[in-house]
Amino acid sequence: MTQSPLTTAKSRQYFARATQVLPGGVNSPVRSCQAVGVDPIMIDRADAAYLWDVDNNRYIDWVGSWGALILGHRHPRVLEAVEVGLRYGTSFGAPCLPEVELAELICHVMPAVEMVRMVNSGTEATMSAIRLARAYTKRSSIIKFDGCYHGHADSFLIKAGSGLATLGISSSPGVPAELTRLTISLPFNSLPAVEQAFKKHADEIAAIIVEPVVGNAGLILPAPGYLEGLRALATKYGALLIFDEVMTGFRVAYGGAQALYNIKPDLTCLGKIIGGGLPVGAYGGRKEIMEMVAPSGPVYQAGTLSGNPLAMRAGLAQLKSLQNPQTYGELSRNTQRLADGLKEIADKATIPLTVSSITGMITLFFAKSPVDDFSAAQKADTALFSKFWQGLLCRGIYWPPSQFESAFVSLVHSKADIDDTLTAAEESIAACCE
Ligand code: HOZ
């Protein structure tokens, strides 16, 4: 594999060790950097908007732990909350006040969420949400959308985005065909496809699950009226509407995409930001549905580390720090500045580049036309993306190592960080054209 011209001897050495004991040398596929043709850098430490690898190279970090770190690395309020938490104990496996406070905050900010269950990851949230939807509606099938990624539970690994799209696979061995038959995957942004599916499978569809703003096929925005249409169709056919806001919650707006687009889903899945960098997920929604979850009701779901006090404290600290009314205007302006700069570079360059962005999220597609669904994203030039990505890395920019992921802007990315990134992008694009 190609190696970055930076001195990365220690990264290479440690990664070689990793490949002996971790499948592919990693604990999650995208970070392996396989899709961009290099071995990954091994991270030593982080602060604010920066990562340092084990060879002491500094990078401007546009991954931000895949969206979790909206305040950047080691934010003082989050650190303080964790330090206090450490003194109180790391895990109780019993109820504690921080979990109540975080649940109250989420319910207050997202009116569609009247009750919430804390879990440990986005995957746990989505798989539990569809179990609940199936129990509530007494139906078995679900609708998802091509290129959306809802974690790695069996029911979702069909035409999925993120790592599957990155590795160019559409499903996974080990998922029983019997289960696959219960998942209907449709093109994003097409309401007729959804209506048709409901007509064909009347009384079978328990839920529509969707990333209201797709982040896992690269960033794809919902067409005007699309989310309203999904809401209306779910209601018309007696199915639940589940918003997977693991990426968009507390990011595209404080109240997430549901606040931005003014839609009330029946269930909402959260993760990343609500843990402040510690492993947390959550699902919540209407009380009458959530009260079906054990021990209030019969739908079983459990976890020793669910509501973990350290993670709850970190999440609370991060969410409270985002309450300043200026927060999202600033995040939006910074994202726009980066997007506009990249667009300008694209306009000057002779290679086609489509920049897709929303507050706090951005994807560059090496594609001629706007990307409004997964098939359009798949037409992007991934070989060019790899070259471009390598050009960024060796100039000290850590961009998500896949065409099918979003980059995440944080509140600590400065004007200088954006300018440095634009300079690196310009140079990298110029190098791609040579
Ligand atoms: N699934 C994560 C982002 N959508 C990527 C996780 C990783 O490989 O670290």
* 272 is known as an active-site residue: yes
Q: Token pair for residue 202?
A: 């009347």
Mean pLDDT is lowest, of 87-101, 314-328, 346-360, for 346-360
Per-residue pLDDT reduced to its tens digit, 412-424? 999 999 999 999 9
Q: What is the DSSP string of 372-395?
A: -SHHHHHTS-HHHHHHHHHHHHTT
Q: How confident is the model at residue 4 (pLDDT cuts 50, 70, 90)?
A: low
- Ligand 1 contact, 31 CB (< 6 A): yes
Q: Which atom of ligand 1 is nearest to the CA of 31?
A: 8
* Per-residue confidence (pLDDT) for residue 410, from 0 to 100: 98
Residue 97, classified by CB atoms within 10 Å of its CB into exposed (0-12), middle (13-18) or buried (19+), is exposed
- Residue 122 Cβ contacting ligand 1 at under 6 Å: no
Q: Which of 336, 338, 354, 358 is nearest to 422 (CA)?
A: 338
Q: Packing angle between helix 191-200 and helix 226-236, nearest 10 degrees?
A: 10
Contact criterion met (CB below 8 Å) for 411 and 69: no
Query: One of 159, 261, 266, 272 is an active-site residue; which one?
Result: 272
Half-sphere exposure of 292 (CA within 13 A, CB side): 19
Question: Which one-letter DSSP state was computed for residue 149?
Answer: -
Whole-angstrom distance, CA of residue 72 vs CA of residue 410 = 6
Q: Catalytic residue at 287?
A: no
Which tokens belong to 139? 């139906």
Domains and CATH numbers, the chain: 9-62+332-433 (3.90.1150.10), 76-321 (3.40.640.10)
Structure confidence by residue, pLDDT tens digits, 227-250: 999 999 999 999 999 999 999 999
pLDDT classification of 369: cutoffs 50, 70, 90: confident
- Full DSSP string of 33-102: -GGGTBPPPPEEEEEBTEEEETT--EEEESSTTTTT-TT-BT-HHHHHHHHHHHHH-S--SS--HHHHHH
- Which pLDDT belongs to residue 238? 98
Question: Does 29 contact ligand 1 (Cβ within 6 A)?
Answer: yes
Whether 154 is catalytic: no
Q: Where are the alpha helices (DSSP H) in 239-326?
A: 256-260, 287-290, 309-321
Strands 407-408 and 361-365, bridge-based pairing: antiparallel
Query: Best of 32, 42, 124, 162 to mutate for ligand 1, by most ligand atoms within 8 A of CB?
Result: 162
| Ligand 1 proximity of 124 Cβ (cutoff 6 Å) | no
Mutate to test the pocket of ligand 1, among 22, 26, 27, 28 (most ligand atoms within 8 A of CB): 28
Q: Which of 18-22, 104-108, 167-171, 338-342 has the lowest mean pLDDT?
A: 167-171
**Sheet (strand 354-358) strand order:** 354-358, 361-365, 407-408
Residue closest via CA to ligand 1's atom 5 equals: 30
What average pLDDT does the segment 378-389 reach? 94
Angle (CA) 236 242 247, round 5°: 145
**Token digits of residue 163:** 């790592």
pLDDT tens for residues 178-227? 999 999 999 999 999 999 999 999 899 999 999 999 999 999 999 999 99
- How much distance in Å is there from the Cα of 405 to the middle of ligand 1? 8
Which of 39, 244, 372, 373 is an active site residue?
244
Residue 408 forms beta bridges with which residues?
A: 361
* 26-71 pLDDT per residue, tens: 999 999 999 999 999 999 999 999 999 999 999 999 999 999 999 9
Band of residue 1 on the pLDDT scale cut at 50, 70, 90:
very low
User: 411 CA distance to ligand 1 centroid (A)?
Assistant: 21
- Could you identify the atom of ligand 1 that is nearest to the CA of residue 247? 4
- List the residue whose alpha carbon is closest to atom 1 of ligand 1: 162
Distance from residue 113's CA to the centre of ligand 1 (Å): 26
Ligand 1 center–CA 358 separation, angstroms: 19
Question: Using a 6 Å cutoff on CB, does residue 395 contact ligand 1?
Answer: no
Checking DSSP bridges between strand 141-145 and strand 183-186, what pairing results, if any?
Answer: parallel
- Of ligand 1's listed atoms, the one at least distance from the Cα of 151 is 1
Place of tokens 């109240």: 255
Nearest atom in ligand 1 to 28's CA: 8
CA of 65 to the centre of ligand 1 (A): 8
Hey, what's the torsion of the CAs at 101, 103, 105, 107, to 10 degrees?
-150
State which ligand 1 atom lies nearest to the alpha carbon of 32: 8
C-alpha of residue 101 to centroid of ligand 1, in Å: 28
pTM, two decimals, is 0.96
